[in-house]
Chains A and B, each alone.
Chain A
């Protein structure tokens, strides 16, 4: 069964018809030609499909497109202007935070969303007590919060370094909860 939906993807409004079964990931890749988010597992188990929906990171493979009618999405292709790189992308390049590059757009969207969560006061499983959170995060916090993005090439050491570079470059926030 088909439904017409509108998505705002990387600053562009796209109205199109989808099968109700189509996920956001497949809508982006197969229908809209945006292959920046990747399909690694299609079941929310690897994070390669991570995009920002209304600024929050989610697994686009487990989101039905029809349920997100009207949503605003940002993929790694839309984090910065075509001629520019987002500081997180720059940091992944500087720190060699990837090898094959397939998990990378998802890692980068996840990292951007993750720092926003930290700045909004969200704790993680390794946060201690009920005290403040915020950036800069220590390495253990980064690792835990990025564990929803698998990298089989094993670039984790450099991914943590890249996120450190990006969060040091950005304004730091201590969030009192």
Chain B
């Protein structure tokens, strides 16, 4: 870790001005990813600007019924917020399925959006990596790819975005509020993260010096149901193999179904995690399911259509059936009204 200067920001605009003028500056928020990377030598800034004491830690209701989440709200506080839990369960569940209690107490909304990949080659500076060192090559090509992308990858990078929160935000059509030298702008989460293309060093569309100040959640129609489901290699405290965020409403009565058959989907918003360089909005499946009866067959076919474009790697072909099955299960459960993803077997035993 190279020596760096430490500053504490007192005003967002000043912080942006300082950071924009100096390419060696990085913002420090919860530190759970940045300090990790400082130690690994993945990044070596000359100056850190601590933004945690900026007044960006509130959660406010918006006039249109949405919610504005301050960028410095800690993940644990966001997940526990009553409005988030009751109106956006997909977001609360996604946050709680990520990391650990300790990390969620430190990590922030803005920092989570900028979480970098867990690709093992990215994290080891002794191996080539285009994301870490543009032009050096991609070690994952021909390497260990269990956790890598099946959708949207390029020959330059096979990495996946590790955030759970971002997958939920993508399914919610949330917007990121960004402060730059030209003032604030709003970026849809679905356009915030990038596919790698030939510039895998860029995870997002942000320019150097841009400061995330908030995330805005849109109001959701009455009767909307949402859920997040994460499949991973241990029961907790592990990154996703595959995750699914779903936000749906129904054309009939709000979705419980009737004896006559399953309900009919209205709008379906579905995002997949663990499969791509960004949260993957499953637009092909969404389109196929809009206005369709929520039958097992329809859901499965829609996912098959979505995943027809998947390109599996040496170690991760399983992600195709895993994503299909997991998304099918989440949508099935939302349609039948359980709405909270699959509980563990143990919790089912306990009333």
Contacts from A to B (Cβ < 8 Å): 1, 3, 19-21, 23, 42-44, 47, 50, 56-59, 61-64, 66-67, 110, 113-114, 117, 120-130, 138, 140, 143-149, 177
Contact = CB atoms under 8 A, between A and B. Distances in A.
Contacts, number: 126
B6 A147 contact: no
Contacts of A66: 6
Contact of B31 (A62, A114, A144, A145): A62
Given A58-B106, A123-B85, A43 B101 contact: no
A117 B101 contact: yes
10 contacts: A20-B3, A23-B35, A44-B32, A44-B99, A62-B36, A63-B106, A67-B52, A114-B101, A125-B236, A147-B237
Given A57-B105, A130-B89, A63 B76 contact: no
Contacts of B236: 125, 143-144, 147
Nearest to B349: A140
B86 interface: yes
Interface in B303-351: 340, 343-344, 346-347, 350
Given A59-B103, A62-B106, A64-B28, 18 more contacts: A19-B3, A20-B4, A21-B1, A43-B36, A57-B102, A58-B102, A58-B103, A62-B103, A64-B31, A67-B50, A114-B101, A123-B96, A130-B82, A140-B347, A143-B235, A147-B100, A147-B236, A147-B237
A123 B92 contact: yes
Given A20-B48, A43-B39, A124 B96 contact: yes
Interface in B41-95: 48, 50, 52, 76, 79-80, 82, 85-86, 89, 92-93
Given A122-B80, A125-B97, A128-B340, A1 B3 contact: yes
A21 B32 contact: no
Contact of B106 (A3, A19, A59, A122): A59
A148 B104 CA distance: 10
A63 B3 CA distance: 16
A148 B39 contact: no
B205 interface: no
Contacts of A58: 102-103, 105-106
B5 interface: yes
Interface of B: 1, 3-6, 8, 28, 31-32, 35-36, 38-40, 48, 50, 52, 76, 79-80, 82, 85-86, 89, 92-93, 96-97, 99-103, 105-106, 235-237, 340, 343-344, 346-347, 350
B103 A44 contact: yes
A50 B82 CA distance: 27
B102 A1 contact: no
A141 B32 CA distance: 24
Nearest to A3: B6
Contacts of B99: 44, 148
Contacts of B3: 1, 19-21
B79 A122 contact: yes
B31 A117 contact: no
Given A123-B85, A140-B346, A140-B347, A47 B102 contact: yes
Given A43-B36, A63-B31, A129-B340, A122 B76 contact: yes
Contacts of A177: 80, 82, 85
Contacts of B100: 44, 47, 59, 147-149
A143 B347 CA distance: 12
B19 to A, nearest CB: 16
Contacts of A23: 35
A113 B102 CA distance: 9
Contacts of B86: 130
A57 B6 contact: no
Contacts of A149: 100
A122 B96 CA distance: 10
B4 A1 contact: yes
B65 to A, nearest CB: 18
Given A63-B106, A67-B50, A113 B344 contact: no
